Amino acid sequence: MKPPDVSPAILAFDTATSALVAMPWPKFRMNFGRPILISIAGRIFLFINDTHYLGDPPPPPPLPSIWGRTYQPHQPQEPWVWTAVGTPEARLPFTASCGHCHALHPDGCTLFVSAVYWADESEQGTFSFDTDRLEWTRHGDWRLPFLGQAYYVAELDAWVGICRHKGGTGHVCSSDVVPVGAGPTTLPRWKLAEERLFDRECPRHLGARLVHMGGARFCVVEYTWHEGDDEMRCKGDPDGWYVGPPRVVVRLTTFGVKYGADGELRLESRRARCPNVFNRAHGFPDTYPVAFWI
């Protein structure tokens, strides 16, 4: 969260204890775009221009005993803080907001990121980050075919994600996994599913996110404007801020992925859920839905 009038914070929700903690952002010099935030090998990594991670949370304070009973005083727990990796090898070789896709390697400790350049063409290409050695490796100036996060599917031995190419927008695609430890490589073989899950060119489309539900099962969460609010899309408020329509529609589509008899990527058991309509809490457009699977 980056509210304009208060200190920015990151909310962390513990699914085991239902505890909610507001953690401060680590210190950095970027005030635009979004960082890459992902869980790798039991730690939460945040990539901005430097690399930061959250290790094990601090232990709770000891509980005193009064008359044989454990007493829980109202005392704050030590904060869960970020650890900065200050080595040159851990510094991002690209601008974080220009990383258009990322995927975790099946080894569980290597992250692959494809980025476009911001100021230097050397920033464009595909890179991997080793969380054991805490260093980046450049694999070439090619980019993975995904948009957003892609996920490894063991049944296919491949990454699966939403296609970024113009002819494949709204489709799911798969890609062979890049070997860990390899130096410069070429674009791995990838396949495009024939079925389209959403129309990115539709005027009401805002954004979509792919959620991995485990195994070969996925869900696409799509945001669109409500069709009854079309006439409000270009209006603004007296202060000059953009004001979007008051309602947003959330569409869910679940499906499985597999390879067909000829090796083509296919979707199976596709099911579209009834869309839900929500009133938006503010005037700024929500372009990318936030969704995850626990």
Per-residue pLDDT tens over the stretch 212-222:
999 999 999 99
Sign of CA dihedral 173, 174, 175, 177: positive
pLDDT band at 66 (very low <50, low <70, confident <90, very high): low
Strand partners, 9: 24
3-class DSSP state of 51:
strand
Whether the CB-CB separation of 268 and 284 falls below 8 Å is answered with no
φ, ψ (nearest 5 deg) of residue 71: -110, 130
Please say if the pLDDT value at position 85 is more than 80.
Answer: yes
Backbone angles phi, psi at 112, to 5 degrees: -105, 135
Task: Return the pLDDT at 284.
Answer: 59
Residue 65 predicted with pLDDT over 70 = no
Asked whether residue 238 carries a pLDDT value surpassing 80, the answer given is: no
What confidence category does residue 63 fall into, taking pLDDT thresholds of 50, 70 and 90? low
Euclidean distance between CA atoms 42 and 23, whole angstroms: 18
- With contact defined as beta carbons under 8 Å apart, do 128 and 140 qualify? no
Q: What is the CA radius of gyration of the chain?
A: 22
Greater confidence (216 vs 71) lies with 216
Phi, psi (rounded to 5 degrees) for 157: 50, 50
Instruction: Quickly count: other Cβ atoms within 10 Å of residue 23's Cβ.
Output: 15
**Residues with Cβ < 8 Å from 194, sequence gap 6 or more?**
171, 264, 266
Q: What is the pTM of this model?
A: 0.83
Give the DSSP letter of residue 159. E
